[in-house]
Every structure is written in C-alpha cells, then in structure tokens.
C-alpha cells in the first residue's frame, strides 16, 4: 500500500518540480552550453576511429572520462542528430531527471518513513539539480542515475547487479569512486573477505579494457 502511494506521488512531485524550474514540457529552446559541444566532439573522435585519449579533443580540452561515458554519449550523439538537436537532448535528460527522482524516492522509502508530500518540497528546493540535467546536459546525471539504481539494488540485496551498476556509474564519471569505501564495507560485512572477492571482481571486469587500444 505504501509503495503504491509512493508510485502515485512520485510523478506528481517530479512534474511539479519541472514546472517550478521552468522546465515543463515542451521545454524551452535555450540551454546553458558548457560541455555538451565538447562531449560531442570527443565522442565523434571515437566514432572516427581515434582511441588515444590525448587526441580526443573538445572545446574544454582532451577527454578525461572513462569509456562508459563515451559509449552512452555516443548513443546521445546519434539520437540528437550528431549532437545538433539540443531540444531532443533536453527531452532525454528530462526523462532521465524524472527517473533519477524516482530512484531517490525509492531509496528514501526503503530506508526511513518519509511522507509522500515531502518529495514535492525536495523537488522544488533543488533548482541546481534541474539546471544540471535539462539546461547544462552534463554527464553527472547519467553517472548518478546509475549510482542510485545501484543503491536500490543493494538495498534489495541484489548484490551482483548492484555491483554491476556501481561499476557502470564509475565508467561514466570517476567521482562515483568516492562511494567505493562504503560499498566495500557493506560487502565485507555481508560476505566476509573471501565472499566479497567475486563481487569486487564484477566491479573490476567492467572497467577492463576501457576502450580499444590505439593501433
């Protein structure tokens, strides 16, 4: 019953948040371009066969993100007409924003008693989050969505899938590694040293190799 109430409340709160942020659909045509063009230029380099990170240049310098970022934003590159359809990118990130909110709501729901109406205020109070998703089109939202999915899976004791999603999040942006000590602690507490090794292996295998080696 509580889960059903949460499922009904989450879209309402998330939609209200988008409206309050001026990001209601259809979205405004403007965006605050900072890294999007650089992302697309770097991804285009990989598509053209360049795998040397020092040669994958954008407006902000060489590529510094792992391969998961490259592959995900390669999909966005094609979905947005080689990065030129900003409106489509904004719609994709708006959907990602709603999915991320739902994942966060589920974490709160599983860990403590939070009334559904609180989610509305959480959404409206996070204007910077709205801008990072829909206006800036950063890679942080992709990494954090995968991290929140990982946390939900870990809370459900789906340890293997949780470690898999955690590793995918790291492959998009390595600041997710800041959560690694907490994950290691949980694995050691749950499985002990020997039992944790296969789960850590899942995290490691997904990182190797990051991209095909340059010829």
List, for residues 94-151, the tens digit of each pLDDT value: 999 999 989 988 888 887 767 777 777 777 777 777 788 888 899 999 999 999 999 9
- Is residue 210 predicted with pLDDT exceeding 70? no
- For the CA atoms of 143, 128, 80, 61, the dihedral, rounded to the nearest 10 degrees, stands at -70
Number of domains the chain contains? 1
Question: Residue 67 to residues 50, 91, 143: CA-CA distances in angstroms?
Answer: 13, 24, 12
Choose the most confident range, by mean pLDDT, from 27-36, 136-145, 203-212: 136-145
Give the residue, 121 or 48, on which the prediction is more confident: 48
Give the model confidence (pLDDT) of 70-85 as tens digits.
Answer: 999 999 999 999 999 9
Confidence of residue 24 (pLDDT cuts 50, 70, 90): very low
Q: Is residue 213 part of a domain?
A: no
* 38 in Cβ contact with 44 (< 8 Å): no
Full domain range(s) for residue 110: 2-205
Q: Is residue 121 part of a domain?
A: yes
Q: Is residue 27 part of a domain?
A: yes
- The closest of 158, 179, 151, 169 to 206, measured between CA atoms, is 169
- Is residue 18 predicted with pLDDT exceeding 60? no
- Is residue 6 predicted with pLDDT exceeding 60? no
- The closest of 77, 104, 125, 92 to 10, measured between CA atoms, is 104
- The closest of 7, 8, 23 to 96, measured between CA atoms, is 23
pLDDT at 50: 86
| 26 exposure class (CB count in 10 Å sphere: 0-12, 13-18, 19+) | exposed
Q: Is residue 97 part of a domain?
A: yes
pLDDT at 81: 94
Choose the most confident range, by mean pLDDT, from 47-51, 120-124, 188-192: 188-192
Q: Is residue 76 part of a domain?
A: yes
Q: Is residue 212 part of a domain?
A: no
Interaxial angle between packed helices 86-111 and 116-124, expressed in degrees from 0 to 180 and rounded to the nearest 10 = 140
Q: Is residue 210 part of a domain?
A: no
Q: Is residue 24 part of a domain?
A: yes
- CA–CA separation, 74 vs 80, rounded Å? 10
- Is residue 90 predicted with pLDDT exceeding 50? yes
Reading the block at residue 179, the tokens are 């959560």
């Amino acid at each position: 019953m509580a889960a059903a109430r949460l499922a009904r409340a989450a879209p309402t709160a998330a939609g209200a948040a988008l409206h309050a942020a001026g990001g209601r659909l259809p979205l405004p045509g403007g965006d605050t371009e900072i890294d999007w063009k650089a992302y697309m230029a770097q991804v285009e380099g990989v598509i053209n066969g360049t795998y040397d990170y020092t040669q994958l240049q954008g407006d902000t310098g060489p590529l510094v993100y792992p391969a998961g970022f490259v592959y995900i934003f390669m999909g966005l590159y094609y979905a947005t007409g080689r990065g030129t359809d900003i409106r489509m990118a904004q719609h994709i990130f708006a959907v990602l924003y709603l999915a991320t909110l739902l994942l966060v709501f589920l974490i709160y729901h599983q860990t403590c008693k939070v009334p559904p109406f609180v989610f509305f205020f959480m959404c409206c109070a996070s204007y910077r989050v709205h801008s990072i998703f829909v206006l800036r089109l950063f890679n942080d939202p992709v990494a954090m969505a995968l991290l929140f999915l990982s946390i939900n899976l870990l809370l459900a004791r789906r340890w293997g899938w949780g470690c898999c999603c955690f590793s995918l999040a790291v492959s998009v942006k390595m600041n997710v590694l800041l959560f690694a000590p907490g994950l290691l602690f949980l694995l050691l507490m749950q499985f002990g040293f020997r039992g944790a090794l296969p789960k850590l292996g899942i995290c490691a295998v997904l990182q190797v190799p990051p991209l095909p080696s340059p010829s």
